[in-house]
């Protein structure tokens, strides 16, 4: 198998689980050296109930033919991020790809009405999901200047202006899209491209547990939510990012948001089982064209049902 990213240096900030782990491992599959950062290490998990660690992610990168380097970093702590980037400069001399996937919002309160939600919880979501990205970009982008074709990828949720189920969550995820746009504007006279990428209905470790299935039996999850049949593994968005990193003309995409399924159509990659999930086509088939008020109402109804499934204490008023 060819390794289009052999010799490339990547930093996946937030590589412990979910999309971050999928991206790190697929960059490894493409031959990259990947710095895998996060707060959870063996013996010291940072998220209650989640066993995944950055060491496991790095080992998977190695197993797929890349080189994984786990580094424990709390990306909300500026000195730790600065030290990480200084280490990458010492060890590699440059950075070719930065992926901002830091989240850490799994354990935070998600309420349907902003006037009932704790502002402190909401601001913590912004701290973890937006401020960390800004801190990381501040120190990593100068390393991208040393590359002949630097790429900065903001991982978000959704490629439209549609409602994302909760005011604070919506604000956090739309903010990352806006970050990609504004950073691309300020980077326009450099060799660095900034853009955003969204997965579809992500079949993460947490989602598999929520639906009571394994990766081998995931289709059974459609009994709880029929939309789960259109879900994708974290590797799918990982291959999307790898394809972007290997594209010599990626600068043409600066400032925009792209979906895993749209990039799969463009670049021709598949999920790990050989399928090509298409959350966008599924969404349009089930809920109609985005922007129609009736379609928005139907989607909001599904969002309410899904939030109730994911968060049993979620109030519906």
> Would 4 be classed as within a structural domain?
no
pLDDT value of residue 279: 95
Distance of alpha carbon 182 from alpha carbon 151, whole angstroms: 14
Mean of pLDDT values over 54-73: 98
Distance CA 43, CA 235 (A): 26
**2 found inside a domain:** no
For residue 15, give the CATH number of its domain: 3.40.50.720
Confidence bin at 295 (pLDDT 50/70/90): low
User: Cα separation of 184 and 179, whole Å?
Assistant: 8
pTM (two decimals) = 0.92
Task: For the chain, state the CA radius of gyration.
Answer: 19
Point out the residues that are catalytic. Answer: 169
* H/E run at residue 261: helix 260-267
Q: How confident is the model at residue 304 (pLDDT cuts 50, 70, 90)?
A: low
| Residue 277 domain-assigned (yes or no) | yes
> Comparing 83-87, 161-165, 231-235, 294-298, which segment has the lowest mean pLDDT?
294-298
Q: pLDDT for 256-278, tens place per residue? A: 999 999 999 999 999 999 999 99
At residue 50, the pLDDT reads 84
Under the banding of pLDDT at 50, 70 and 90, the label for residue 30 is very high
The count of domains in the chain is 1
Q: Residue 48 sits in which domain range?
A: 9-310
Q: Give the separation between CA 133 and CA 168, rounded to whole angstroms.
A: 16
pLDDT class for 111, splitting at 50, 70, 90? Answer: low
Mean pLDDT, rounded, for 40-48: 80
The DSSP 8-state label assigned to residue 34 in this structure reads: E
| Per-residue buried b or exposed e for 261-278, using 16+ beta carbons within 10 Å of the residue's own CB | bbbbeeeebebbeeeebb
Q: What pLDDT shows up at residue 293?
A: 46
Confidence band for 290, pLDDT divided at 50, 70 and 90: low
For residue 292, the model assigns a pLDDT of: 47
pLDDT at 73 over 50: yes
Mean pLDDT of all residues belonging to the chain = 90
For the cut 60, the answer to whether the pLDDT of residue 317 exceeds it is no
Q: Is residue 225 part of a domain?
A: yes
Whether 244 is covered by a domain: the verdict is: yes
Alpha helices in 94-233 (DSSP H): 119-126, 132-144, 167-186, 205-210
Q: Give the number of other Cβ atoms within 10 Å of residue 113's Cβ.
A: 11
Nearest to 128 by CA among 41, 53, 39: 39
pLDDT recorded at residue 260: 98
Residue 174 lies in a domain: yes
Share of the chain above pLDDT 70, in %: 89
């Amino acid at each position: 198998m060819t390794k289009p990213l052999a010799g490339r240096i990547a930093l996946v900030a937030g590589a412990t689980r979910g999309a971050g782990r999928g991206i790190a491992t697929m960059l490894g599959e493409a031959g990259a050296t990947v710095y895998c950062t996060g707060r959870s290490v063996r013996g010291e998990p940072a998220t209650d109930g989640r066993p995944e660690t950055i060491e496991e992610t790095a080992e998977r990168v190695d197993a797929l033919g890349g080189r994984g380097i786990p580094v424990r970093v709390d990306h909300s702590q500026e000195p730790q991020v600065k030290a990480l980037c200084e280490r990458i400069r010492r060890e590699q001399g440059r950075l070719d790809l930065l992926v901002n996937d830091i989240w850490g919002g799994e354990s935070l309160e998600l309420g349907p009405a902003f006037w009932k939600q704790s502002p402190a919880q909401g601001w913590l979501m912004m701290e973890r999901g937006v401020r960390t990205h800004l801190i990381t970009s501040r120190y990593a982008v100068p390393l991208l200047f040393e590359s002949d074709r630097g790429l900065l990828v903001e991982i978000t949720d959704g490629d439209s202006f549609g409602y994302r189920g909760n005011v604070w969550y919506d604000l956090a995820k739309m903010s990352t899209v806006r970050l990609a746009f504004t950073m691309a504007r300020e980077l326009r006279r450099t060799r660095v491209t900034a853009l955003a990428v969204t997965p579809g209905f992500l079949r993460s470790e947490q989602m598999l547990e929520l639906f009571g299935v394994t990766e081998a039996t995931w289709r059974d999850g459609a009994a709880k939510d029929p939309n789960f049949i259109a879900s994708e593994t974290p590797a799918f968005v990982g291959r999307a990012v790898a394809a972007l990193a290997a594209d010599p003309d990626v600068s043409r995409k600066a400032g925009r948001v792209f979906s895993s399924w749209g990039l799969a159509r463009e670049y021709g990659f598949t999920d790990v089982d050989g399928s090509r999930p298409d959350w966008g086509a599924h969404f349009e088939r089930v809920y109609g064209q985005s922007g129609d008020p009736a379609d928005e109402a139907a989607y909001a109804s599904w969002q309410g049902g899904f939030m109730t499934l994911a968060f049993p204490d979620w109030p519906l008023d």
